[in-house]
C-alpha cells in the first residue's frame, strides 16, 4: 500500500483540464508550462498510448504545423531541453479492459458496454471549448457524464472513479517523493476535464485516496517516468 502524507496535495499539484485534440487545449498547455515552470509534468497516459501518439506524431509530415496534435504530446514538446520529470499517471488500457469485465460481473450489469468513451469530445463540447467557453463546455460534459453514470454505473466506476483514484495516488506519491528528498515540487498535471474535480477532491483529502484504493481493490503501482533531461551549461 502506498504511504500517503496527511497533507493537502493540491498545494503542490496544478491541474489543467483539457478537451483532447483541440487547438485551445494546446494553447492552454503551452501557457501553463511557461507560467508555472513545473518541476514535474504528469499526463493522463500510460506508456503504450504515449509511445503510439509520440511515434505517430514523429513520423507525420505535418509535425510542427498540425492543429490536431494531442495536448499531452504537445506538453512534452513544449518543455524542450529542461530539467523536468515527465510522468505517465493513468491506468493502462489493458487494465481498464480487465476491470471493466470484472465490474460487469460484480454488479451484474447486463447492459451492453457503451461505445462512446465518457471523455470523448462531441461537436458541441469542442465548439464551446474552442470558443473559450470552458465552463459551458464542462457543464455540458458533466450532464453527459451524469447520464452515463445512471445508465452504466460499472463503466463509470472504472473509467472515472477508479482512474481518478489511481492518478491521485500516483500524484501523491510523486509529491511525497519530492518532499522526502528535499526537492521543490510543482507538478503540472494534464488530464481530461472530466477528471479534474475528482482528482482535486482526492488530493485535498488524501485519506480518501487510501480508502478508495481499498474499496475498489485497486493495486497501487508507481507512475512511469519517461524522460529526464539534464541541462548542462557550457563552462560548468
Which pLDDT score is estimated for 64?
Answer: 56
Can you give the pLDDT at residue 151? 78
Long-range residue pairs from 4-7, CB within 8 A, at least 24 positions apart, any chain: 4/169, 4/172, 4/173, 4/176, 4/206, 4/207, 4/209, 4/210, 5/172, 5/176, 5/179, 5/206, 6/206, 6/207, 7/206
Task: Give me the pLDDT at residue 232, please.
Answer: 46
Per-block mean pLDDT, blocks of 10 residues, the chain (236 long): 80 86 73 88 89 69 57 69 83 92 64 41 57 64 70 84 96 94 91 90 95 94 78 44
Amino acid at each position: 500500500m502506498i504511504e500517503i502524507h496527511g497533507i493537502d496535495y493540491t498545494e503542490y499539484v496544478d491541474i489543467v483540464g483539457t478537451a483532447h485534440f483541440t487547438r485551445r487545449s494546446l494553447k492552454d498547455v503551452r501557457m501553463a508550462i511557461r507560467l508555472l515552470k513545473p518541476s514535474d509534468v504528469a499526463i493522463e497516459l500510460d506508456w503504450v498510448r504515449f509511445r503510439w501518439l509520440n511515434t505517430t506524431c514523429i513520423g507525420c509530415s505535418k509535425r510542427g504545423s498540425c492543429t490536431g496534435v494531442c495536448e499531452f504530446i504537445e506538453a512534452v514538446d513544449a518543455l524542450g531541453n529542461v530539467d523536468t520529470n515527465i510522468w505517465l499517471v493513468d491506468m493502462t488500457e489493458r487494465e481498464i479492459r480487465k476491470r471493466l469485465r470484472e465490474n460487469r460481473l460484480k454488479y451484474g450489469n447486463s447492459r451492453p458496454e457503451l461505445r462512446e468513451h465518457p471523455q470523448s469530445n462531441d461537436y458541441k463540447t469542442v465548439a464551446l471549448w474552442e470558443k473559450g467557453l470552458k465552463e459551458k463546455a464542462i457543464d455540458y460534459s458533466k450532464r453527459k457524464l451524469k447520464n452515463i453514470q445512471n445508465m452504466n454505473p460499472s463503466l463509470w466506476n472504472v473509467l472515472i472513479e477508479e482512474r481518478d483514484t489511481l492518478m491521485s495516488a500516483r500524484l501523491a506519491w510523486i509529491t511525497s517523493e519530492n518532499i522526502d528528498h528535499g526537492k521543490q515540487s510543482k507538478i503540472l498535471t494534464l488530464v481530461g476535464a472530466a477528471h479534474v474535480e475528482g482528482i482535486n477532491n482526492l488530493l485535498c483529502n488524501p485519506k480518501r485516496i487510501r480508502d478508495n484504493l481499498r474499496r475498489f481493490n485497486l493495486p497501487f503501482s508507481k507512475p512511469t517516468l519517461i524522460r529526464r533531461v539534464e541541462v548542462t551549461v557550457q563552462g560548468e
